[in-house]
Amino acid sequence: MLPCGTFNTRPEEDLAIVRTKTQWFLIVVGLVFFVTLGLFSPEDWVVWLILLGITAIAVLGLHILTGLCGQFSMGQAAFMAVGAYTAAVFGSRYGLSPWATLPLAGIFAGLVGLLFGTPALRIKGFYLVMSTIAAQFIIIWILREWDTVTGGVFGMAVPAIKIGGEKLSDVQFWWLTLGLLVVMIILAKNIQRTATGRRFVAVRDNDLAAEVIGVNLFRTKLVAFFIGCFFAGIAGWLWAHFYTHISPEQFTFKDSLWFLGMIIVGGMGSTTGAVFGATLIRLTDKMVDYISPLLSDAFPSIGVQVFPALSLIIFALVVIFFIMIEPRGLYHRFQRLRLYYQLHPFSY
Amino acid sequence: MADIVLQGFLVGGLYALVALGFVLIFKSSQVLNLAYGEMIAILSYFLYFLLDSLEFPLGVAILLMFVAGAGLGFLVERSFIRPLVGQPFLALLMMTLMLMFLFKGIMVLIWGGESYSFTFAPEGMYELGGVSILPSALWAFAAAIFVFLLLAFLFRYTKIGLAMRVVAADHAVSQSLGIKVKRIFSLSWVISGVFAAVCGILLGLVTMITPTMGDIGLGKGLVVLLLGGMTSIPGALVGGLILGLAEALGGYYWTDLREIIPWILMLFILIVRPWGMFGERRIERI
């Protein structure tokens, strides 16, 4: 919602994503903040930031597929793996430069997504969810078994990104991640505003009505699958180049469910919400890092398992909290807060 | 070859047993309890704890485990499922998924990553047509048949079963017919908790008690459920046997294929016949 007294008098103003000077100011300040954040954070927090960026991109893809088009996917991590392996195979076996594999990673992941989206021709809702679970397990299995290409269980090395002969440092990699994240956010925001994006929303809200007004259901769902998995592929590309060694065990069913949990926490159907959700879940996960040594000191009998157990329990509790108390997610709360301050002396 | 087929059937009986727990909840409240596998695992650990650490006699321990199962089912329904009545199906699906994480976390927190096995497992091997089989596997198969008959009887011939079917069809209608919807929900979850306890004993006997034993719920039970049709009791049994057989045969020809067979079967049935072999043809409801 725009502040009082802002009128759209020209079409360009109506189209603009960033409308007022305050918004521009906040965006520039925010970007500067996030760029410099890498310089001043301790090392493990820089790694955390990079992971957050990668997660946020994957979650944005899921936001388009699930939040906009209403097709739940429980295989996002596997599509990420497809992107990562595309980058690795083309990078190390065919010697393509990382910049050339970036679009390839996205497109390959998208194509695999299309393949597993085809059951949407006959089934929907819960049954489609099941087919994405099958996708998760089948893709990871193929990556593990096809060892002449993917290196099997042991995974494969990925050539690092080099600029001027130098490997990227963690901070530089954070800048790269941030840049890609910003591009992807703009992309996601704009997809939402196109005719395709409106078709997605129509399919989500009422697929029967959408079909009656002339939306091609099957094609729309497939496009949503392609775009959602494209995002996952880009995230996978970043993941592969950050760790420089990938194996099938890095992309588990659990991760797919975490992505789904993140958009629930953030709020379905908004780009900002997707980023919020990713941030909140990653932040709580990072907190567990700090809490669990204390707990394992206090209760030595359960010392070893505290970290994995606590991270599962806290994630589950956070998502359960949001499903029960605020199904519209963090973004809804944020908007209400913003509205409250915008209108401050008055309540309407 | 005969031993492969027999093994497949026995394992299939176990899968059917797990799937029947899903069917019970789904048939009576249209909730797909994805946490069922972890409920089985946590009850299994609980029984081990009673036997090993507290040294209860076997009969008492099993009785306590049944009580704990019923309590767990009741608690889950009361605190996590009931607030979501009337919400979309997928919200409930996410809820049970998160419960799966929660149970798994609690399990790992208390018992760590250790594997145990029950000490009361019967010794020796049975001979059946020249094939030696594990006694506990045979028990599990028998239990699956028994639970199947019990469920079929419950839904077909008892008033409670009829009430459960009405509740699944429409809450408002059943309420106006004088059926207490909430009580039916609680009841079906309590029964499924007891079923989980039964599964926990048998699964712990046949395999071992490991932190990953709960994966059977999602990895096998759900596939069987889709194979047979979501609401069909005979479907769960037949689906379980088919899956067990397919896994055994597939694993015989190509060992690595074994773990992927459930998913391929599931994709196949989803594309060819989404409502399953014995299910009702009304998938658009979900």
Q: ipTM of the assembly?
A: 0.88
Q: How do the domains of chain A map onto residue ranges?
A: 35-342
pLDDT of residue B172: 85
Ordered DSSP codes for A245-267: EE-GGGS-HHHHHHHHHHHHHH-
* Chain A interface mutation, best of B101, B259, B270, B285, highest count of A Cβ atoms under 10 Å: B101
CB atoms within 10 A of CB B41: 28
Query: How close does chain A come to B89, measured CA to CA in Å?
Result: 8
Mean pLDDT per segment of 10 residues, for chain B of length 286 residues?
82 88 85 89 90 85 92 92 82 90 89 79 70 77 86 88 85 88 90 90 84 84 87 87 89 83 88 79 51
Q: What is the mean pLDDT of residues A183-197?
A: 92
B89/A315 Cβ within 8 A: no
Rounded CA-CA distance A209/A213 in Å is: 6
Ordered DSSP codes for A83-142: HHHHHHIIIIIS---HHHHHHHHHHHHHHHHHHHHGGGGT--THHHHHHHHHHHHHHHHH
Q: Does A44 touch chain B (CB under 8 A)?
A: no
* Confidence check: pLDDT of A130 > 90: no
Most confident of A115-124, A301-310, B61-70: B61-70
**Cβ distance B49 to B204 under 8 Å?**
no
What three-state secondary structure class fits B126?
strand
Closest CA to A196 of A69, A63, A11, A59: A69
* Confidence check: pLDDT of A81 > 90: yes
Query: How close does chain B come to A312, measured CA to CA in Å?
Result: 5
- Facing residues of A166 across strands? A163
**Cβ distance B36 to B22 under 8 Å?**
yes
Higher pLDDT, B86 or A48: A48
Structural domain of residue B29, as residue ranges? 2-285
Which option is the CATH number for A35-342: 2.40.128, 1.10.3470, 3.10.450, 3.40.50?
1.10.3470
pLDDT of residue A1: 67
B110/A257 Cβ within 8 A: no
pLDDT of residue A180: 92
B87/A137 Cβ within 8 A: no
pLDDT of residue A259: 92
Q: Which residues of A touch B112 (CB under 8 A)?
A: 302, 304-305
A316/B105 Cβ within 8 A: yes
Query: How close does chain B come to A122, measured CA to CA in Å?
Result: 7
> E-strand spans in A185-295?
245-246
Higher pLDDT, B103 or A13: B103
For tokens 């096809």, the residue is A146
CB atoms within 10 A of CB B215: 17
**What residue in A sits closest to B262 (Cα-Cα)?**
A134
Q: Does B255 touch chain A (CB under 8 A)?
A: no
pLDDT of residue A348: 65
pTM of the entire structure? 0.90
B101/A316 Cβ within 8 A: yes
pLDDT of residue B282: 61
**What residue in A sits closest to B111 (Cα-Cα)?**
A302
Q: CATH number of the domain at B74, please.
A: 1.10.3470
Tell me the pLDDT tens digit for each residue of A15-42: 888 888 888 999 999 999 999 988 888 8
For chain B positions 93-122, those within 8 Å of chain A (CB to CB) are 93-95, 97-99, 101-102, 104-110, 112-113
Distances (CA, A) of A50 to A43, A176, A286, A314: 11, 9, 13, 22
**What residue in A sits closest to B265 (Cα-Cα)?**
A134
Q: What is the mean pLDDT of residues A305-314?
A: 85
Q: Which of A47-56, A133-142, A272-281, B141-150 has the lowest mean pLDDT?
A: B141-150
Q: Does A302 touch chain B (CB under 8 A)?
A: yes
- The pLDDT mean for chain A works out to 88
- Residue B128: phi and psi, rounded to 5, are -140, 100
Ordered DSSP codes for B44-64: HHHHHHHHHTS---HHHHHHH
**What residue in B sits closest to A261 (Cα-Cα)?**
B94
Closest CA to B185 of B94, B96, B278, B75: B75
- The pLDDT confidence band at residue A5, using thresholds 50, 70 and 90, is confident
pLDDT of residue B129: 67
* Confidence check: pLDDT of A10 > 70: yes
B256/A145 Cβ within 8 A: yes
B126-128 and A166-167 as β-strands: parallel, antiparallel, unpaired? unpaired
pLDDT of residue A2: 73
pLDDT of residue A198: 93
Q: What is the mean pLDDT of residues A74-99?
A: 89
pLDDT of residue A308: 82
Amino acid at the residue B179: I
Q: Which of A82-96, A195-209, A265-279, B203-217 has the lowest mean pLDDT?
A: B203-217
- The pLDDT confidence band at residue A169, using thresholds 50, 70 and 90, is confident
Tally of structural domains, chain B: 1
